[in-house]
Amino acid sequence: MITCGAVTVRLYSLVMTRLAACVLVFLLSISAAFGDLSGQIIGILDGDTIEVLQNNHTERIRLNSIDSPEKGQARGKRVKQAASELVFGKQVTLLAHGLDEDGRTIADVLLPGGTNVNQELVKEGWCWW
């Protein structure tokens, strides 16, 4: 009975060690996939979609939790211009939250001074939550 208990304890310990290793690998892969990124804004598609150059690769970014008029809609061109004036050509940090159904990275965009672009566009009345 004592030997059986020792085997059970060893088996439990082995299972828990492997489970902890799997959880750690999973968490590291999530942070790599959806962690902080940075790059230069090289394109403004509309008020809530931008393009960032990162490591010589263009990444399309959908601004997290906001919506704006599309280019063909009323105020669409003006919203695009306002977003461009705020971020075009600037180095930004992206707080990624995953991918949308079109494969774009969903992110909060932060300017070098810490301004959250998503919040700023809503605050200025160009976009909404």
Catalytic residues: 62, 70, 104
Nearest of 121, 45, 46, 41 to residue 89 by alpha carbon? 41
Residue type, 33: A
Nearest-angstrom CA–CA distance, 107 and 94: 6
Nearest of 82, 92, 84 to residue 112 by alpha carbon? 92
Query: What tokens does 49 get?
Result: 């979609």
